[in-house]
Chain A
Amino acid sequence: MADSNRNVLPGFRLSLGFTMLYLGAMVLLPLAACAIKASSLSAGEFWAAVWTPRARAAYGLTIGASLVSAVVDSVLGLLVAWVLVRYEFPGKRLLDSIVDVPFALPTAVAGLVYSSLYVRNGWLGRFLVPLGIEAAYTRLAVVLVLVFIGLPFVVRALQPVLESLEAETEEAAALLGATRWQTFRWVIIPLVLPALVTGFSLSLARALGEYGSVVFVSANKPFQTEIAPMLIVARLESFAYSEATAIAVVLLTMSFALLVVINVLERWSKRHYA
């Protein structure tokens, strides 16, 4: 079978073998170790570790803030991608590379910068705090920093799709008498929707696991601004390895479930609109 068509990679079996080894050692093994460590707890202990009122509040904040930030990213990301693809203006290249900064920047730096911008004596905080907008050490701060972290995922998912959109389709819509809104709603959105869903789910997944930046901008107050990954760190610091991994397993399951739901949606939207 491998000999019948010439492939770039040397040998189907060798490349598959390497793929399996790589995925096994780098992805599946750590995940399995996580599950095994957590399984040293009895069902009752597991439940007691992962379902305290404090943990539930933290899951709520993590999932809620991640969803909100992914929605914001989807709207903003669509706009940014549209501008970068459709218009020519000086500094476009620079703007295009700035989009990638959140990929490269250590997230702790992002957190530090955000929190010092929005505190009472910060550049933005000195104007916002008197207006009653507290964007440091609050839930708003968590959302803001997650928006920052997730934005490039949406932009980069949409750009190739928008580039492949032909202006003729929009022109045709205009000739048929569609308003701009109708063109947007019935022509453009259906074409970019699958990519938008991909961008949304990627930025959501990223936000669910984010720790480094959030600890600097949230005040880490239990029940109020404490995210779930912080609980894992807290359990590890008291040498409770199994309990820490139990919380990790819960988070893993939740994000996996969310990703499955989104994947189903993505397939459905492809079938429905394509």
Chain B
Amino acid sequence: MIKRHSTLAILVLALAAGCSQQAGEVELLHVSYDPTRELFEAVNTAFLGEYNKQNSPDLTIRQSHGGSASQARSVIDGLEADVVSLPLWSDVDAIRKAGLIDADWEERFPNKSLPYFSTIVFVVREGNPKQVKDWADLVRGDIEVITPSPKTSGNGKLSFLAAWGSVLLRGGSKDDAVKYVTELYKRVPVLDPGARGSTTTFAQKEIGDVHLTWENEAWLEIRESGNKLEIVYPPISIRAEPKVALVDANVKRHNTAKAAEAYLNFLYTPAGQEIVAQNYYRPIQEDVLAKHAQSFPPLELFTIDKIAPGWSEAITEYFEEGAVFDQIYESAVKGK
């Protein structure tokens, strides 16, 4: 008797789950990270306007934003994304390792699947009261720095690597780099789990003197604050390379490969590049970049291979359990 009733309950559950699947219009799900919300709203409107004129049935694009690693995790765990755009190569590669993206994904779109790039800059209070100009200034005097935790945030990882590289690429040794980032993270009063949390801590709660963040996020932050904040460009920083990819397993099942490919390719068109630049991401096309030069002052940008063999090695070397970032905190505690 017990058995019969439980079987029935399971059947009902299974039926309910099956019904949610429905056929009809073409729809793409784009899974992306936090700071691209504004960018892809603009991109989608522009792309769909053109695309739906020439194709039927009409295409719609749904967006999902969140912390980069947790977005990648959702896709691995079954979120039906057709395309992903993620800030770290390692996040896309984690989805590949789960078997959802084909091995050659990086070669499928121009410029190694990199439609735009960005960097980490400083945001300071109006008038730059502490006169912060370069990485070395961050560990001077009583300066407080706001940056999210590299353990949970892409922004946090990039900020750490930018600081690390600023020492190594100017001829410092690995020991110098360890010493520098140890000093730096001693001055971080709050390690928020995500990028937007850090922005709130710095801009709204007015904690800290310098905020390390994405260039595009910095521009938005300043606009939002009514010019009570300003950007400082350090002479050197990391080149952040957000990647785009089709989630092959899902587009095959949804039969959306053609639309998804057209969508990502749109980012490389002059119109797409223009939207990218207007949202403060650096376009890869030289002429568009030159046109928006006032938003993108030149600075020396180094790629990840200057400080580690590649992204996966960098993650292991700096952010894994017991790696450099953990050691910094452990030594800080023991030093007390």
Residues on A facing B (Cβ under 8 Å)? 13-14, 16-18, 20-21, 48-49, 52-54, 57, 115-116, 119-122, 137, 215-216, 219-224, 230, 233-240, 243
Other-chain residue from A223, A234, A238 in contact with B333 (beta carbon distance below 8 A): A223
A137 contact set on B, CB distance < 8 A? 189-190
Given contacts A17-B5, A239-B73, A239-B94, contact A219 B190 (CB under 8 A): yes
Instruction: Mark each residue of chain B from 65 to 100: 1 if its CB lies under 8 Å from any CB of chain A, else 0.
Output: 001011011001000000000000000001000000
Are A119's CB and B205's CB within 8 A? Answer: yes
Q: Identify the closest chain B residue to A230 (Cβ).
A: B193
Is the CB of B235 closer than 8 A to any CB of chain A?
no
Is the CB of B326 closer than 8 A to any CB of chain A?
yes
B67 contact set on A, CB distance < 8 A? 237
Expressed in whole angstroms, the Cα–Cα distance for A13 and B6 within the complex equals 11
- 29 A-B pairs with CB atoms under 8 Å apart are A13-B1, A14-B1, A17-B5, A18-B5, A18-B9, A20-B2, A21-B5, A48-B321, A49-B321, A52-B322, A54-B330, A57-B333, A116-B204, A116-B205, A119-B206, A219-B190, A219-B191, A220-B149, A220-B191, A221-B329, A223-B329, A223-B333, A234-B152, A236-B70, A236-B73, A237-B67, A237-B151, A238-B319, A243-B321
Are A17's CB and B151's CB within 8 A? Answer: no
Tell me the B162-192 residues at the A interface (CB within 8 Å): 188-192
Q: Identify the closest chain B residue to A20 (Cβ).
A: B2
Band of interface residues on B: 35 or more
Expressed in whole angstroms, the Cα–Cα distance for A270 and B319 within the complex equals 51
Expressed in whole angstroms, the Cα–Cα distance for A33 and B257 within the complex equals 35
Is the CB of B315 closer than 8 A to any CB of chain A?
yes
Are B206's CB and A233's CB within 8 A? Answer: no
Q: Identify the closest chain B residue to A216 (Cβ).
A: B197
Other-chain residue from B6, B76, B205, B319 in contact with A115 (beta carbon distance below 8 A): B205
Expressed in whole angstroms, the Cα–Cα distance for A122 and B69 within the complex equals 32
Is the CB of B143 closer than 8 A to any CB of chain A?
no
Are A121's CB and B205's CB within 8 A? Answer: yes
Is the CB of B320 closer than 8 A to any CB of chain A?
yes
Expressed in whole angstroms, the Cα–Cα distance for A267 and B151 within the complex equals 44
Instruction: Mark each residue of chain B from 290 to 330: 1 if its CB lies under 8 Å from any CB of chain A, else 0.
Output: 00000000000000000000000001000111100010011
Are A220's CB and B190's CB within 8 A? Answer: yes
Expressed in whole angstroms, the Cα–Cα distance for A246 and B332 within the complex equals 27
Q: Identify the closest chain A residue to B151 (Cβ).
A: A234
Other-chain residue from B5, B76, B205 in contact with A14 (beta carbon distance below 8 A): B5
Expressed in whole angstroms, the Cα–Cα distance for A48 and B321 within the complex equals 9
Are A237's CB and B73's CB within 8 A? Answer: yes
Given contacts A13-B1, A215-B193, A220-B193, contact A52 B206 (CB under 8 A): no
Other-chain residue from B193, B329, B332 in contact with A233 (beta carbon distance below 8 A): B193
Instruction: Mark each residue of chain B from 44 to 77: 1 if its CB lies under 8 Å from any CB of chain A, else 0.
Output: 0000000000000000000000010110110010
Expressed in whole angstroms, the Cα–Cα distance for A57 and B332 within the complex equals 14
B70 contact set on A, CB distance < 8 A? 236-237
A119 contact set on B, CB distance < 8 A? 205-207
Are A13's CB and B2's CB within 8 A? Answer: yes
B332 contact set on A, CB distance < 8 A? 223
Expressed in whole angstroms, the Cα–Cα distance for A122 and B76 within the complex equals 41
Known: A119-B205, A119-B206, A236-B69. 12 other contacts (CB 8 A): A20-B6, A21-B9, A48-B321, A54-B329, A57-B333, A120-B206, A120-B207, A121-B205, A122-B205, A215-B192, A215-B193, A220-B191
Q: Identify the closest chain A residue to B207 (Cβ).
A: A119
Are B330's CB and A53's CB within 8 A? Answer: yes
Q: Most chain-A Cβ atoms within 10 A of its Cβ — which of B5, B190, B329, B332?
A: B190
